[in-house]
A and B are shown apart, each in its own frame.
Chain A
Amino acid sequence: MLLIECPFCGARDESEFSYGGEAGISRPTDPDSLSDAQWADYLFMRKNPKGDHEELWQHTQGCRRWFVVVRNTVSYQITSVRKVTEVVRD
Chain B
Amino acid sequence: MQKYRLAEGGLVDRSQALTFQFHGNTYQGYVGDSLASALLANGVSIVGRSFKYHRPRGIVGAGAEEPNAIVQLGVGAESIPNAKATQIELFEGLTAKATRGWPSPGFDLGAINDLLSPVFGAGFYYKTFMFPKNFWEHYEHFIRRAAGFGLAPTENDPHRYAHHNAHCDILVVGGGPSGLMSALVSGATGARVLLVDDQWQFGGSLLSQSQIIDGKPGTEWVSSVVQKLQQMENVTCLSRATAFGFYDHNFVTVLEQSAPGSKKPADIRQRLWRVRAQRVILAQGAFERPLVFSNNDRPGVMLASAVSTYVNRYGVCPGNRGLVFCNNDSAYETAFELKAAGADVVAIIDSRKNIAESLSQKAVDAGIPLHPGSVVTNVMGKRQVKKAVVSKWDGKNVSATPHVLECNLIAVSGGFSPAVHLHSQSGGKNKWDEVNECFVPGDNPQGAVSVGSGNGTWLLRDCLNEALDVAVQVAGGLGFSDTAESVPDVADGMGPSVEPLWRVPTLDLPEKAPKQFVDFQTDVSVSDIRLAAREGFHNVEHVKRYTALGFGTDQGKLSNINGMAILAETLGKTIPEVGTTTFRPAYTPVSFGACAGENTGELYDPVRKTAIHSWHEQATSQFEVVGQWLRPWYFPKSGETLDQSVARECMAVRNSVGIMDASTLGKIDVFGPDAATFLERMYTHDIGKMKPNKCAYGILLGEDGMVMDDGVMARLEENHYYLTTTTGGAAAVYSWLEFWLQTEWPELEVYLTSVTDHYSTIAVAGPNSRKVVQAAGCDIDIEKTAFPFMSVRKATVADVPVDLFRVSFSGELAYEINVDSRYALHIWRHLVQVGGEYDITPYGTETMHVLRAEKGFPIIGQDTDGSITPVDLGMNWLLSNSKDFVGKRSLSREDSCRDDRKQFVGLVPVDGTSVVREGAQLITNTQVGPPTPMRLGSILIIIFAFFAINTVVFAE
Q: A20–B739 contact, CB under 8 A?
A: yes
Taking the closest CB of chain A, its distance from the CB of B738, in whole angstroms, is 6
Contact across chains for A84 and B893 when beta carbons are under 8 A apart = no
Give the CA-CA distance A27 to B884 in the complex, in Å: 12
A1 lies within 8 A of B739 (CB): no
B866 contacts the other chain (CB 8 A): no
B743 & A1 in contact (Cβ 8 Å cutoff) = no
Most buried by B among A23, A28, A36, A78: A36
Asked whether A60 is an interface residue with its Cβ less than 8 Å from the other chain, the reply is yes
From B66-74, B247-255, B664-672, B764-772, the one touching the partner chain is: B247-255
Which residue of the partner chain A has the closest CB to B247? A1
Question: What string of 1s and 0s marks CB contacts (under 8 Å) between B875-889 and chain A?
Answer: 000000000100011
- Is B63 positioned at the interface, with any CB of A under 8 Å from its CB? no
Residues of A34-90 whose CB lies within 8 A of B: 34, 36, 39-40, 43, 56, 58, 60, 64-66, 75-78, 84-85
Chain A residues, CB < 8 A from B427: 75
Minimum CB–CB distance from A24 to chain B (whole Å) comes to: 10
Chain B neighbourhood of A65, CB < 8 A:
742
Q: Which of A32, A56, A76 is the one whose CB lies under 8 Å from B889?
A: A32
Whether A60 lies near B249 (C-beta < 8 A) is no
Given contacts A60-B735, A75-B445, contact A66 B890 (CB under 8 A): no
Of listed A26, A64, A66, residue having the most chain B CB within 10 A:
A66
Q: How far is the CB of B247 from chain A (nearest CB, A)?
A: 5
Which residues on B sit within 8 Å (CB–CB) of A36?
893-894
Q: How far is the CA of A2 from the CA of B249 in the complex (A)?
A: 6
Does B276 belong to the interface (CB within 8 Å)?
A: yes
- What's the tally of chain A residues with a CB closer than 8 Å to chain B? 30
Q: Which residues of A contact B735 (CB under 8 A)?
A: 18, 58, 60
A27 near B893 (CB under 8 angstroms)?
no
Assess whether A31 is in contact with B746, with CB atoms less than 8 Å apart: no
Q: Which of A31, A40, A60, A66 contacts B743 (CB 8 A)?
A: A66
Q: Is the CB of B743 within 8 A of A56?
A: yes
Q: A31-B889, A66-B739, A84-B746 are in contact. Are A43 and B247 (CB under 8 A)?
A: no
Distance of A36 from chain B, by nearest CB (Å): 6
Complex-state Cα separation, A58 to B251, whole angstroms: 21
Q: Which residue of A lies closest to B276 (CB)?
A: A3
Specify which of A1, A2, A32, A75 lies most central, judged by the most chain B CB atoms within 10 Å of its CB.
Answer: A1
Q: Which of B247, B445, B738, B893 contacts A40 (CB 8 A)?
A: B893
Query: Are B742 and A43 touching (Cβ within 8 A)?
Result: no
Closest CB-CB distance, B668 to chain A, in whole Å? Answer: 13
A39-B890 in contact (CB<8A): yes
Q: How far is the CB of A31 from chain B (nearest CB, A)?
A: 4
Q: Which A residues lie within 8 Å of B899 (CB)?
A: none
Chain B residues positioned under 8 Å from A84 (CB to CB): 742-743, 746
Chain B residue contacts of A43, Cβ below 8 A: 703-704, 890
Q: Is the CB of A13 within 8 A of B739?
A: no
Give Cα distance in the complex from A39 to B735, angstroms.
24
Q: Which residues of B contact A1 (CB under 8 A)?
A: 247-249, 251, 274
* B739 contacts across to A, CB distance below 8 A: 20, 58, 66
Residues of B within 8 A of A (CB-CB), count: 24
Looking at the assembled complex, report how far the CB atom of B560 sits from the nearest CB atom of chain A, in whole angstroms: 25
Contact B704 A76 (CB under 8 A): no
Query: B248 contacts which chain A residues (CB < 8 A)?
Result: 1-3, 14, 76
Closest to A64 in B: B738
Residues of A within 8 Å of B889, CB to CB, are 28, 31-32, 34, 39
Give every chain A residue within 8 A of B742 (Cβ-Cβ): 65-66, 84
Interface of A is mostly: mixed
**Minimum CB distance partner of B249 in chain A:** A3
- B508 interface residue (CB < 8 Å to A): no
Within the complex, the shortest CB–CB distance from B585 to chain A, in Å, comes to 11
Q: Is the interface of B mostly helix, strand, loop or mixed?
A: mixed
Provide the residues of chain A in CB contact with B247, threshold 8 Å. 1
Q: Which residues of B from 251 to 304 have beta carbons under 8 Å from A?
A: 251, 274, 276
Q: Does B744 contact A (CB under 8 A)?
A: yes
A3 and B251: CB pair below 8 A? yes
A-chain residues with CB within 8 Å of residue B250 when the two chains form the complex: 3
B94 to chain A: closest CB distance in Å? 36
Complexed CA–CA distance, A14 and B251 (Å): 11
A13's partner among B276, B445, B704 (CB-CB below 8 A) is B276
- In the assembled complex, the Cα of A27 lies from the Cα of B682 at a distance in Å of 13
On whether the beta carbons of B738 and A58 are closer than 8 Å, the reply is yes
C-alpha gap A1/B744 in the complex (Å) = 28
Cα-based distance from A20 to B742 in the complex (angstroms): 12
What is the minimal beta-carbon distance from A69 to any residue of chain B, in angstroms? 13
By beta carbon, the residue of chain A nearest B702 is A43
Tell me the complex Cα distance, A2–B446, Å.
12
For the complex formed, measure the closest distance between the CB of A45 and the CB atoms of chain B, giving whole angstroms: 13
| CB closest chain-B residue, reference A3 | B249
Chain A proximity of B242: nearest CB distance (Å): 18
Question: For residue B738, which residues in chain A have a CB less than 8 angstroms away from its CB?
Answer: 58, 64, 66
Q: Could you tell me if A85 and B890 are in contact, using CB atoms closer than 8 angstroms?
A: no
Q: Complex: how many Å from CA A27 to CA B885?
A: 11
Please indicate the chain A residues that have their CB under 8 angstroms from the CB of B251 in the complex. 1, 3, 13
Quick one: closest A residue to B747, CB to CB?
A85
CB atoms of A32 and B884 under 8 A apart? yes
Among B743, B746, B889, max chain A CB count under 10 A is at: B743
Collect the chain B residues with CB atoms within 8 Å of residue A56's CB: 743
Residues of A within 8 A of B893 (CB): 36, 39-40
Q: Which residues of B contact A75 (CB under 8 A)?
A: 427, 445
How many angstroms from the CA of A40 to the CA of B704 in the assembled complex? 9
| List of B residues within 8 angstroms of A77 by Cβ | 445
CB distance from A8 to the nearest CB of B (A): 11
Provide the bound-state CA to CA distance between A75 and B248, in Å: 9
Which A residues are in CB contact (< 8 Å) with B890?
39, 43
A14 to B648, CA, bound (A): 50
Report how far A40 CA is from B890 CA in the complex, Å: 9
How many Å lie between the Cα of A13 and that of B247 in the bound state? 12
Residues of B within 8 A of A14 (CB): 248
Q: How far is the CB of B424 from the nearest CB of chain A, in Å?
A: 15
Query: Bound state CA distance, A78 and B735, in angstroms?
Result: 24
Distance (Å) between the CB of B194 and the closest chain A CB?
A: 16
Chain B residue nearest to A33 in the complex (CB): B889
Assembled-state Cα–Cα distance A27/B445 (Å): 37
Encode contact with A along B371-398: 1 for CB under 8 Å, 0 otherwise.
0000000000000000000000000000
Q: In whole Å, how far is A48's beta carbon from the nearest beta carbon of chain B?
A: 19
The residue on A at minimum CB distance from B896 is: A36
Q: Which residues of B contact A20 (CB under 8 A)?
A: 739, 743
Taking the closest CB of chain A, its distance from the CB of B472, in whole angstroms, is 25
Give the complex CA separation of A85 and B427 in angstroms.
34
Quick check: A31 and B884 within 8 Å, CB to CB?
yes
Smallest CB gap from B427: residue in A: A75
A76–B249 contact, CB under 8 A? yes
Rounded to whole Å, the gap between the CB of B354 and the closest CB of chain A is: 45
A31 close to B888 (CB less than 8 A): yes
B478 to chain A, nearest CB (A): 14
List of 6 A-B pairs having minimum Cβ-Cβ separation, nearest first: A31-B889, A3-B249, A1-B251, A66-B742, A76-B248, A1-B247
Q: A20-B743, A75-B427, A84-B746 are in contact. List 13 more A-B contacts (CB 8 A).
A: A1-B248, A13-B251, A14-B248, A18-B735, A23-B743, A26-B744, A31-B888, A39-B889, A39-B890, A39-B893, A43-B703, A78-B249, A84-B742
Give 9 pairs: A residue, B residue, CB < 8 Å, sorted on A.
A3-B276, A13-B276, A20-B739, A20-B743, A26-B744, A31-B884, A34-B889, A58-B735, A77-B445
Partner-A contacts on B (CB < 8 A): 247-251, 274, 276, 427, 445, 703-704, 735, 738-739, 742-744, 746, 884, 888-890, 893-894
Interface set of A (CB-CB < 8 Å, partner B): 1-3, 13-14, 18, 20, 23, 26-28, 31-32, 34, 36, 39-40, 43, 56, 58, 60, 64-66, 75-78, 84-85
